[in-house]
């Protein structure tokens, strides 16, 4: 058994006290946000350990059981536990939403910065291309892409990314136009820096706050879009649980077994609100770091 010296022990205790004091100083909204994120991450990573039942196992004797002690969220027409299906449905729904949002915001950030930095014909061409993509309704464009390429997770992620690309590009460009006229961009250009260096080392940090907030909104929209595609039958295929698919399967029982539909909708709303609040909090934390002129 290793015994720490007295000096080391006395050094550790103040650090623990500082950590406890910082935790106590957190506002209730931050604590609630941390708990919400913990729940979401746990559902994605540890669904197999925290779900009380199998999400696909049939139990005819427990079919359409209302919420109770044995089944807190009730069961569906096949006796499958709704709580377990909601927990297991987080991974296919949210991974598609987050990856699609990252793809769309990444493409949009690069396109928006390039348009704002280059200006002229390059800006005009890129923005007309973005306008052409934005002319399609979101759900229709995503559905068209998935139907043409095939219904699988990779194609759904690509469809969500393409849908979000022009919207993120427009937002980033609006900020990049102002950043491109700042003195530190002109100084980098006079020094002979390469265009890629100016874009990603000089301009990107100045638009990062907007990108982070936009990403949080895209995760929100991506969750709803992923659920909508599953509802239309072109996302995750049964019997794999996904929140949109659960709503579709349970809609015929909504009059006398509404819990089948309610709980997946609650999960979608919970994730959407959490993503928006997280983006706003990150924007507040990162705002003081942008002091460049």
Q: What is the DSSP annotation of 215-232?
A: HHHHHHHHHHHHHHHHHT
Q: What is the pTM of this model?
A: 0.84
Confidence of residue 13 (pLDDT cuts 50, 70, 90): low
Determine what percent of the chain is predicted with pLDDT higher than 90.
Answer: 52
pLDDT at 170 over 80: yes
Residue spans of the domains in the chain: they are 94-293
Q: Is residue 193's pLDDT more than 90?
A: no
According to the model, what pLDDT value does residue 151 have? 82
Residue 80 vs residues 6, 56, 84, 265: alpha-carbon distances, Å: 57, 6, 8, 17
Judged against a pLDDT cut of 80, whether residue 19 lies above it is answered with no
Average confidence (pLDDT) over 15-39: 74
**What is the sign of the dihedral through the CA atoms of 199, 203, 205 and 207?**
negative
Work out the number of other CB atoms within 10 angstroms of the CB of residue 196. Answer: 8
Of the candidate ranges 211-215, 265-269, 280-284, the one whose mean pLDDT is the lowest: 280-284
**Average pLDDT over all residues of the chain:** 86
Q: How far is CA 111 from the centre of its chain?
A: 21
Of 28-42, 122-136, 176-190, the range with the highest mean pLDDT is 122-136
| Assigned CATH for 94-293 | 1.10.3720.10
- Rounded distance, CA 263 to CA 10, Å? 50
């Amino acid at each position: 058994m290793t015994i720490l010296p007295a000096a080391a022990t006395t050094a550790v205790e103040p650090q623990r006290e500082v950590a406890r004091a910082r935790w106590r100083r957190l506002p209730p909204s931050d604590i609630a946000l941390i708990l919400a994120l913990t729940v979401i991450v746990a559902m994605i990573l540890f669904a197999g350990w925290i779900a009380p039942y199998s999400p696909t196992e049939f139990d005819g004797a427990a079919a359409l059981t209302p919420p109770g002690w044995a089944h807190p969220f009730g069961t569906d027409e096949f006796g499958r536990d709704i709580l377990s299906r909601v927990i297991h449905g987080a991974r296919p729904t949210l991974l598609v939403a987050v990856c699609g949002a990252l793809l769309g915001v990444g493409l949009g950030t690069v396109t928006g910065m390039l348009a704002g930095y280059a200006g002229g014909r390059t800006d005009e061409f890129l923005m007309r291309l973005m306008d052409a993509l934005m002319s399609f309704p979101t759900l229709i464009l995503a559905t068209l892409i998935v139907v043409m390429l095939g219904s699988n997770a990779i194609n759904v992620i690509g469809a969500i990314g393409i849908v979000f690309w022009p919207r993120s590009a427009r937002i980033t460009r609006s900020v990049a136009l102002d950043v491109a006229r700042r003195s530190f961009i002109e100084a980098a250009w006079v020094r002979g820096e390469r265009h890629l260096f100016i874009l990603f080392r000089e301009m990107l940090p100045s638009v990062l706050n907007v990108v982070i907030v936009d990403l949080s909104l895209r995760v929100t929209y991506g969750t709803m879009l992923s659920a909508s595609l599953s509802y239309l039958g072109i996302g995750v295929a049964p019997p794999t649980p996904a929140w949109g698919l659960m709503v579709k399967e349970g809609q015929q029982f909504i009059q006398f077994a509404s819990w089948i539909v309610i709980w997946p909708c609650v999960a979608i709303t919970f994730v959407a609100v959490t993503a928006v609040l997280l983006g706003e909090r990150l924007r507040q934390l990162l705002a003081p770091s942008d002091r460049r002129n």
